Amino acid sequence: MTSDSGLRKFTLKNITGFLITIGLTVLFVFIAFYGIDLDKLLEYIGHASLFWILVFVVLSLLSHYFRAVRWKVILNNIKPGISSFHLFNSVMLGYGVNNIIPRLGEISRAVSIGYTEQISRTSVLGTIVIERVLDILLFGAAVLISLVIYNGSISYSLPWLNSLLITGSVSIGAILAVIFFLVKYKEKYITKLFPGKFGTKLSGIFLKLISGLSSLRGTKNYFYAALTSIMIMVLYALTSYAGFRALDIRYSGNYFEMAWVVMSIGAIGVMIPTPGGIGSYHTITKAVMVTLYGIDPVASLAFATVTHGISYLTQVGSAIVVFFYLRHRDETFTFSNLLSVNNNSSQE
């Protein structure tokens, strides 16, 4: 009875989350495409340069590779010498799953690298939390840089950005405080709150998570994590630049400055829980290009559609290849394995 009730609650929770995700996607797609001449949009997209699209794909994959290298640095204190090939595969798998089921990509990353490298998936999940905190800090810094390099007032043109930055800063502070508390006190309060076998089991899982959360330490690791993070952000901006060139978007000012601003603020759309940023990325990117740079709305939406579409197809396609690679290694490996850290308890 209890099990069935729990299953119904779990199912209801997931259905509710799915409906909210779909609702947000439909809303943002409507906002982005409202009033747009679709024939003109398709004409813009149809004239995109295949050369610059290829450059975009190469730069995008290179940024994902540097993300895998940074993850290797973070994982170094858990297991030195992890295969960069396996890490890159896990990164691409995570992106692909996130594009279909928002926020489950992180779990699939932990499961896949835990499987290929035979390490604790819970510890790996802790390193992914650290990586996500780094990403939020980096994109926050990127937005602040945009405020400085933009020739005008972004805060005035995009007033919603101010409240978002304040909310983001408070959230980051809260996350850092929680991580500090977890690392400092470790399992001390867990065993007090949950005595007995359950407390022992929970404490073991908790320690593995802490191992991941506290994995980034040491001056050398800090340096390499910072260096790879900078490379990731520069490559992200260069992909935007390649997108401008692919669609022959004309701008009289500094193209890289525009690429940086569009990349940093447009990334907010990817953080909204829609599948792969569908709709939300288009809406925010279009708003930035139209409001800050006076780019034609159709051209702006064509840019968002092409860059998002190519990224989406690259990531999902790569994820499919990685999944079948894992299936080739072990025929019992299924898609459901990717969505749970509880499979194969020896590697939890």
Residue 294 and residue 258: Cα distance in Å, rounded? 11
For the chain, report the end-to-end CA distance as a whole number of angstroms.
28
Residue 207 and residue 231: Cα distance in Å, rounded? 32
Output the pLDDT for position 7.
40
Q: Which helix H or strand E contains 55, and what residues bound it?
A: helix 50-75
pTM of the model: 0.82
Q: Could you say which residues of the chain have pLDDT below 50?
A: 1-9, 193-194, 198-203, 205, 344-346
CA atoms within 13 A on the CB side of 338: 26
Please state, as a whole number, how many other Cβ atoms lie within 10 Å of the Cβ of residue 28: 21
What DSSP state is assigned to residue 151? S
Tell me the pLDDT tens digit for each residue of 161-197.
877 777 777 877 777 676 666 656 555 555 554 455 5
Output the pLDDT for position 199.
47
For residue 252, give Cα distances in angstroms to 150, 156, 236, 294, 302.
14, 22, 22, 11, 19
DSSP string, 89-102: HHHHHHHHHHHHST
Residue 264 and residue 146: Cα distance in Å, rounded? 7
Q: Tell me if 332 sits within 8 A of 339, measured CB to CB.
A: no
